[in-house]
Amino acid sequence: MIESSPRPQLAWIGLGALGAPMAHNLLQAGHALTVFNRTASSCEPLQAAGARVAGSPAEAAREAEVLLLCVSDDRAAEAVLLGPEASEAAIHGLQPGALVIDCSTISPGTSRRLGAALAERDIRYVDAPVTGGTEGAKAGTLSVLVGGATEDLDRARPLLEILGGSITHFGPVGSGQEAKAVNQVLVAGSYAAVAEALQLAKRLGLDRQQVVSALKSGAAGSWALEHRSAQMINDHYPLGFKLALHRKDLAIALEAAEAQQLELPVSRLVAAMEDALLADGHGDLDVSVLARWFRS
Rounded to whole angstroms, what are the CA distances from 280 to 31, 80, 201, 271, 273? 43, 31, 25, 14, 11
Task: Say how far apart CA 111 and CA 147 lie, in whole Å.
Answer: 9
Cβ atoms of 163 and 25 closer than 8 Å = yes
Rounded to whole angstroms, what are the CA distances from 172 to 115, 141, 189? 10, 24, 28
Amino acid 279 reads A
Residues in Cβ contact with 223 at an 8 Å cutoff, skipping those fewer than 6 apart = 190
Amino acid 249 reads D
Amino acid 39 reads T
Question: What DSSP character marks residue 34?
Answer: E
Task: Say how far apart CA 127 and CA 111 lie, in whole Å.
Answer: 7
Amino acid 246 reads H
Residues in Cβ contact with 296 at an 8 Å cutoff, skipping those fewer than 6 apart = 276, 280
- Mark whether 248 is an active-site residue: no
Residues in Cβ contact with 158 at an 8 Å cutoff, skipping those fewer than 6 apart = none
Task: Say how far apart CA 201 and CA 198 lie, in whole Å.
Answer: 5
Residue of 180, 216, 242, 248 marked active site: 180
**Among all residues, which ones are annotated catalytic?**
180
